[in-house]
Amino acid sequence: MSIPLGAYIIATLVLLLIFYLVWNHLRQRKLIRQLKELANSLEQSKQQIIQEQEHNRQLKQEMTNNIAHELKTPVSSIRGYLEILLSGKTVEETKKQFFLERCYSQTLRLSDLINDVALINKLEESSDLFPKEEISVSNIANEAITELEEQCRSHNIKVNNDLQTPTAILGNHSLVYSIFRNLIENTILYAGDNIEIGIECYKQDSERYFLRYYDTGAGVDPSYLTRLFDRFLRIDEGRSRKTGGTGLGLSIVKHAVLFHGGDIYVRNRDAGGLEFFFSLKKK
């Protein structure tokens, strides 16, 4: 028995309608699922942003507290010495001279602290303000060595700069200088006397120079190695204050290396002392 053409058309339309309804339902379910996934992703991003903001707030609060703590000692010292000098009491000339020298020493420490804090803040918040030009890493390392030559000599520290020229990068002169100056100063302050410092480029590829800075000094307790670049880290509180370090030198080193597209890590040498491995992006 043949099916009337009208019934066939109606059946076909019904099937098409059912197919469309099913397809549309599945499409809506897929769309709903995608919208839910998008909503979840947005919520996760929101939570991540909130966590990052809270983390940054805590870091800034911690840094503010640390700065206040670091400022307290020199300011209190300066105030104490000046109060004695201004009290009207008779003070021996030798003591006056000593008090003035201590005040001057503490003002230098305050100046160093302010400069270091300002540099880190600028690197974190306005790194694009640092101009870049073609510079020689080897030459800049020599500048830092020359600047600190007298201090090294007073501690009988020999510095060997084995960087071979040219070691050209597109970078910021003052930041690269701060890398070597802070590393050398850190050695002078904490590594001990009668030691050696070495600087070398142990490897390079098409994109980066890989450098090693080491000293033959005391090294540090292994438990501190992962925190050595933290701001205001005090491995030896009394000695740090006596030697006048701001506690920001190695943090500046890390920020300056990151600014130049590299990374850095530190470890104790088997033969004694510390060695820093870091990379700098070529021009």
pLDDT for position 182: 94
Q: How far apart are CA 228 and CA 265, in angstroms?
A: 9
CA-to-CA dists, residue 159 to 42, 176, 280, angstroms: 54, 18, 21
1-129 belongs to which CATH class?
Answer: mainly alpha
Indicate whether this model's pTM tops 0.75: no
Alpha-carbon torsion 232, 233, 238, 244, what sign?
negative
pLDDT for position 235: 63
The answer, yes or no, to whether the previous bond of 131 is cis (omega within 30 of 0) is no
Q: What is the pLDDT along the chain (283 residues), one digit of tens a residue?
A: 555 666 667 777 777 777 777 787 778 888 778 878 888 888 888 888 888 778 767 767 776 777 777 788 788 889 999 998 898 888 889 999 999 999 998 898 888 888 888 888 888 888 888 899 999 999 999 999 999 999 999 999 999 999 876 788 999 999 999 999 999 999 998 888 999 999 999 999 989 999 999 999 988 888 888 888 887 776 654 444 445 567 788 999 999 999 999 999 999 999 899 999 999 998 7
Q: What is the DSSP letter of 223?
A: G
Q: Are 227 and 173 in contact (CB under 8 A)?
A: no
pLDDT for position 26: 78
pLDDT for position 248: 85
Q: How far apart are CA 190 and CA 83, in angstroms?
A: 33
pLDDT for position 281: 93
First vs last Cα of the chain: how many Å apart? 86
Burial class of residue 182 in the structure, from the number of CB atoms within 10 Å of its CB (0-12 exposed, 13-18 middle, 19+ buried)? buried
Burial class of residue 147 in the structure, from the number of CB atoms within 10 Å of its CB (0-12 exposed, 13-18 middle, 19+ buried)? middle
131-281, what's its fold? Heat Shock Protein 90 (3.30.565)
Q: How many CB atoms lie within 10 A of CB 152?
A: 18
Q: How many CB atoms lie within 10 A of CB 119?
A: 19
pLDDT for position 198: 95
Q: How far apart are CA 89 and CA 128, in angstroms?
A: 54
Query: For residue 261, is it left (φ>0), alpha (ψ between -120 and 50) or beta?
Result: left
Extents of the domains making up the chain? 1-129, 131-281
pLDDT for position 231: 79
Coil, strand or helix: which one is 264?
strand
